[in-house]
A = this chain, B = another copy of it.
Amino acid sequence: MKRIAESTVRRLSLYLGFLESRDRDGTGTISSDELAHLGGTTSAQVRKDLSLFGSFGKRGLGYSVSELSRHLREILGLEKEWKVCIIGAGRIGAALARYPGFAERGFIVTAVYDRDPSKVGKKWENLMIRDVADLERDAAKEHFDIAVLATPAESAPDTVRRIVSAGIKAILNFAPVQLNVPAEVTVRAVNMAIELEGLSFALSNRER
């Protein structure tokens, strides 16, 4: 399969979001124009994005909402379940462990780790906090698909080395650091502070 740009994958997620909400409304078909409008792009781009994965929709009839939703869920890997471990049992980790959107989408949190001895062994949302020193050993048995990195910046580089050496190929990064990982590991980052600071930078420089 050829390499698909990150921006394309993001648009597929957006399309799927709209399709699912239309499906709940009972809409039967949707045009590429309408998908384009909702996704902030052009209908040519929608057709190009979808054509990467096969042939969907009928000329002049648009796409079947339920069918295209199912295809996109499959393309995005959302028809499977993924085993997720959270590393860092702090404020962000706690919010994530409670977040219902994870399991709804097939992302099942099966383990939580921390390096603080005063936290290890405590119960946390049905899971016991484990020692991060055991990550590699546990991963060999439990085959985590995705590691959620929710540690402070300082311990992130060490933790990432553990994650990589545990053979985990996908990281969702909440730590305010740029991660160095081998090419076969995919990283996506979520960082509200950095986004906010980008806005205040833009506002400040506008006013100079």
Residues on A close to B: CB < 8 A? 1, 4, 6, 9-14, 16-18, 21, 37-41, 75-78, 80, 82, 95, 99, 101-102, 105-107, 145-146, 152-154, 157, 169-172, 176-180, 184, 186, 188-206, 208
Contact = CB atoms under 8 A, between A and B. Distances in A.
Contacts of A145: 203
Contacts of A201: 4, 9, 12, 75-77
Contacts of A105: 193, 196-197
B40 A180 contact: yes
Contacts of A180: 40
Contact of A200 (B78, B196, B198, B203): B78
Contacts of A179: 40
A14 B177 contact: yes
B76 A169 contact: no
Contact of A172 (B4, B11, B37, B195): B195
Contacts of A153: 14, 17-18, 21, 38
Contact of A13 (B39, B172, B176, B202): B176
Nearest to A41: B178
A203 B17 contact: no
A208 B197 CA distance: 39
Contacts of A12: 197, 201
Contacts of A154: 21
Given A21-B153, A154-B21, A196 B188 contact: yes
9 contacts: A10-B194, A13-B176, A13-B197, A14-B177, A41-B178, A146-B199, A170-B203, A172-B195, A172-B196
